[in-house]
């Protein structure tokens, strides 16, 4: 195998040497906002998660690709991340579920990557400085530095428009008597699998109006995960405001942030976000600690709940940094969480939230 020497250059001038893997980027340069993910497995689900649109994923776990890939674990119809950074790409895979090698998936999906990077040093840098624009590839160091400094990152960019479905589609269910309308802000396949156990799911584009949704007479509305700055999807928040109090609403990740905006709360950008499958979250109703899967750079500001027109309560809190991990609108059958209860990949501690949505749609609880 021919080794293609490559470099990763960050906007602050930091340089990392490695070798090119995956697809060859145009002009030998791939750019994006560099973040790190602390999960020890689930690299295929992470790479195909639309929430990584505009970002380059650094895997902190050093050995990536060892159990291969398979079609079932893809989380979307396409890959929207800008690239991947790994310490060591396994040259051989071994697992009974494997249908191919990770690098073959990267090439098939058009995802460039760089291996041989000191990901420990890189992670420490991002932890201290925050997520940084970066560029990697086989181009010269000067060209990579210029590209990194020209990369806008994810602030103020509508990334949802890049990942949402262009047309509505249906995911069938054995429970054909119930209809769930799911907004696609970057929805994951694993979420759809969970929702389809609760009812027939009609997935609609991010720009769908509340009137269009209500005309379908849904039993519940789901607000999906997705990439980027929630402030850039303000029109969706405006539509969600018309749904709250009319129909049961459940939001995850970006859907949680948009619920906050719809209620009049504010959002903030975190220094380096939460990306991993090991974040401790406390349920404030039960005092139970849940280990959760997370992938977000923005969060709802709980300090903005005071003075809202509706009574909004924080239901979950991140024990690492105090970030709001969940909220509910008292008496309006509306709740949302920042973390991922479908956990693809990750632990299943929070899976009960789908049952909570089920209960709301059945009229068994009124939260």
Question: Is 70 exceeded by the pLDDT of residue 73?
Answer: yes
| Residue 345 region by backbone torsions, left for phi larger than 0, else alpha for psi between -120 and 50, else beta | beta
Mean pLDDT of the chain: 96
Q: Percent of the chain scored above 90 by pLDDT? A: 94
Question: Is 70 exceeded by the pLDDT of residue 311?
Answer: yes
Quick one: pLDDT at residue 307?
82
CATH of 5-150, one of 3.40.50.970, 3.40.50.720, 3.40.50.1820, 3.50.30.20: 3.50.30.20
Question: Is 60 exceeded by the pLDDT of residue 78?
Answer: yes
pLDDT band at 365 (very low <50, low <70, confident <90, very high): low
Question: Is 90 exceeded by the pLDDT of residue 319?
Answer: yes
User: Nearest to residue 153, comparing CAs of 255, 256, 273, 60?
Assistant: 273
DSSP state of 109: H
Angle, helix 254-263 to helix 234-243, in steps of 10 degrees: 70
Coil, helix or strand for 137?
A: strand
pLDDT digits (tens, 9 = 90+) for 183-236: 999 999 999 999 999 999 999 999 999 999 999 999 999 999 999 999 999 999
Burial class (CB in 10 A: 0-12, 13-18, 19+), 89: buried
CA dihedral 306, 236, 272, 72 (to 10 degrees): 130
Report if pTM > 0.85. Answer: yes
| Spatial distance between the Cα atoms of 70 and 82, rounded to a whole number of angstroms | 21
pLDDT band at 308 (very low <50, low <70, confident <90, very high): confident
Q: Are 229 and 154 in contact (CB under 8 A)?
A: yes
| Spatial distance between the Cα atoms of 53 and 81, rounded to a whole number of angstroms | 5
Measured at the CA of 229, the angle between CA 224 and CA 231, to 5 degrees, comes to 95
Quick one: pLDDT at residue 47?
97
Quick one: pLDDT at residue 28?
95
Domain boundaries, the chain: 5-150, 160-362
pLDDT digits (tens, 9 = 90+) for 127-171: 999 999 999 999 999 999 999 999 998 988 999 999 999 999 999
Mean pLDDT score, 278-304: 97
Mean pLDDT score, 327-335: 96
CATH of 160-362, one of 3.50.50.60, 3.40.50.170, 3.40.960.10, 3.40.50.880: 3.40.50.880
Quick one: pLDDT at residue 3?
78
Quick one: pLDDT at residue 366?
52
| Spatial distance between the Cα atoms of 23 and 5, rounded to a whole number of angstroms | 14
Q: Cβ neighbours of residue 111 under 8 Å, at least 6 residues apart?
A: 22, 23, 47, 79, 81, 83, 84, 105
Mean pLDDT score, 71-91: 95
User: Nearest to residue 21, comparing CAs of 75, 74, 89?
Assistant: 89
Question: Is 70 exceeded by the pLDDT of residue 333?
Answer: yes
Active site residues: 253, 340, 342
Mean pLDDT score, 55-82: 96
pLDDT band at 85 (very low <50, low <70, confident <90, very high): very high
Question: Is 90 exceeded by the pLDDT of residue 363?
Answer: no
| Spatial distance between the Cα atoms of 94 and 264, rounded to a whole number of angstroms | 50
E strand or H helix that includes residue 201: strand 200-205
């Amino acid at each position: 195998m021919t080794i293609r020497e490559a470099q990763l250059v960050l906007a602050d001038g930091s340089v990392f040497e490695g070798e090119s893997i995956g697809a060859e980027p145009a002009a030998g340069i791939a750019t994006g906002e560099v973040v790190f993910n602390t999960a020890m497995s689930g690299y295929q689900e992470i790479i195909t998660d639309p929430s990584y649109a505009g970002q380059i994923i650094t895997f902190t776990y050093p050995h990536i690709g060892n159990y291969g890939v398979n079609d079932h674990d893809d989380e979307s119809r396409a890959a929207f991340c800008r690239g991947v950074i790994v310490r060591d790409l396994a040259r051989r895979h071994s697992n009974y579920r494997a249908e191919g090698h990770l690098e073959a998936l990267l090439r098939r999906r058009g995802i460039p990557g760089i291996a041989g990077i000191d990901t420990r040093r890189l992670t420490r840098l991002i932890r201290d400085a925050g997520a940084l624009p970066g560029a990697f590839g086989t181009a010269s160091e000067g060209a990579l530095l210029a590209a990194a400094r020209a990369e806008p990152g994810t602030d103020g960019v509508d990334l949802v428009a890049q990942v949402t479905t262009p047309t509505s589609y249906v995911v069938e269910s054995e429970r054909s008597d119930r209809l769930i309308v799911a907004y696609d802000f970057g929805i994951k396949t694993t979420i759809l699998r969970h929702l389809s156990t609760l009812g027939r799911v009609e997935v609609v584009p991010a720009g769908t109006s509340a009137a269009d949704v209500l005309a379908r007479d849904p039993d519940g509305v789901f607000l999906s995960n997705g990439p980027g700055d929630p402030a850039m999807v303000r029109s969706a928040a405006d539509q969600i405001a018309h749904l709250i109090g009319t129909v049961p609403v459940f939001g995850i990740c970006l859907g949680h942030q948009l619920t906050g905006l719809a209620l009049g709360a504010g959002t903030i950008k975190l220094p380096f976000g939460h990306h991993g499958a090991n974040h401790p979250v406390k349920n404030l109703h039960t005092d139970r600690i849940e280990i959760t899967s997370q992938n977000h750079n923005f969060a709802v500001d709980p300090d903005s709940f005071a003075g809202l027109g509706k009574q909004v309560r924080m239901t979950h809190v991140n024990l690492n940094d105090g970030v709001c991990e969940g909220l509910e609108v008292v008496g309006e059958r509306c709740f949302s969480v920042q973390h991922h209860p479908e956990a693809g990949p990750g632990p299943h501690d929070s899976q009960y939230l789908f049952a909570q949505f089920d209960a709301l749609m059945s009229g068994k609880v009124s939260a």
